[in-house]
Amino acid sequence: MNQKTHIRVPRGSRIFPERPPLSDAEIARRKAEDEAFGKRCREIFNRVYPELVKDCYDWFILIEPDSGDYFIDPDREIARQEAKKKHPTAVLMAMRLNETGTCGRI
């Protein structure tokens, strides 16, 4: 039988102390990459939205911005599986075909 060991982490301390904290430059670089990725996905979303929203309102759309491919389905998991078949290592953005493109509550 396996016993669980609980390690108490003091409040305000790092969860993974063996990892060094990120530098300000690295944080800025990651933020810029995320914003560029989001912008490329949003451009594809804005291009296909008018034709898809009529028949597929509130469906999920997963976008792969490098190829411009997108995958739609009412079930998010099915759309993700279709996308991963074609682009197994790609980073995808999930959106909804509604007025805001958001997938949940903000």
Average pLDDT along the chain: 89
User: What are the structural domain ranges in the chain?
Assistant: 24-96
In this structure, what token pair is assigned to residue 24?
Answer: 């300000």
pLDDT in tens, 90-102: 999 999 998 878 8
d(CA 52, CA 73): 11
With contact defined as beta carbons under 8 Å apart, do 92 and 80 qualify? yes
Exposure string (b/e) for 59-84, b if CB count within 10 Å is 16 or more? bbbbbbbeeebbbbbeeeeebbeebe
Local confidence band at 73 (pLDDT 50, 70, 90 cut-offs)? very high
Q: What is the pLDDT of residue 104?
A: 66
Q: What is the pLDDT of residue 1?
A: 59
The pTM of the full predicted model, rounded to 2 decimals, is 0.76
- Of 83, 95, 106, the closest CA to residue 46 belongs to 95
pLDDT in tens, 5-56: 777 767 877 778 788 888 999 999 999 999 999 999 999 999 999 999 889 9
